[in-house]
Structure 1
Amino acid sequence: MSFDVGAFLLETVPFARTIGVEFGQVNDGYAACRLPDRADLHNHVQGPHAGALFTLAESASGAAMLSALGDQLSRAVPLATTAAIHYRKLAKGEVTAEARLLADRDEVVARLDAGERPEFEVGVEIKNAEGTLVSEMTVSWTLRPNR
């Protein structure tokens, strides 16, 4: 990718910026993001609110997707179509999300080349500062061809 995916997402998705998502490594269908521990993002048990965790994971999934397919933005709009999140353990403190494209990039582009609207998934793991898995998410994405 020839552009800063994290900066692009923070500009085009202001809510991620509002809650303080920070982008780390982003390349080749992989993205790592972090959400600092902030009291204004806490829920009733003093951990990050479910909505904050969702936003962190969805942001990471978008970065992973764009790191692999961002060169297709001139001809298609990426859209999340569904997301399923599983809250496994109570999250406390800072959390990180790691997202991975679960599809073959070349197959997605070939489907787009064939005039289809490809759908594919990105898997995300959210861990606390100790590295314990606290949540998992799968986001289904599509590339809607420009017409």
Structure 2
Amino acid sequence: MLFLKLNVKKQKSSKKKIKKKLLKVIIHIKASFNNTIITITDLFGNVIGWSSTGICGFKGSRKSTPFAAQMAVENVLQNCSDYGFKQADVIISGPGSGREISLRAIQKSNILINVIRDITPIPHNGCRPPKKRRV
């Protein structure tokens, strides 16, 4: 048997992902003492884009600064500008220093903020205290 090799190239069917235009999104801000993470989701919770201060090039103690949080917000809004949203609900979690400045950066980018929710966990009575010291 003789097999002939023919130069037949398979055509790749490239399906481009169609980006939907969104009217409203949810912006999650997690501001810890060491980092600030910003996630943008649609109203169903599907992640559209995210960024953090470490991705923006900050390392060490500079990751926890308000300026780094501002740069992370600008980065994620620039990456998600194709979706064309103009309204957002903001959910903030954590006690970090990037909380306030990230809100200001969102407002500066001409996005209308409808709701600001703070879901930072607060202990009601704290941990159980240690046993009394015996001498």
Q: Do the structures match in fold with TM over 0.5?
A: no
Structure with more of its chain in helix, by fraction: 1
Structure with more of its chain in strand, by fraction: 1
User: So what's the TM-score if we normalise by structure 1?
Assistant: 0.29
User: So what's the TM-score if we normalise by structure 2?
Assistant: 0.31
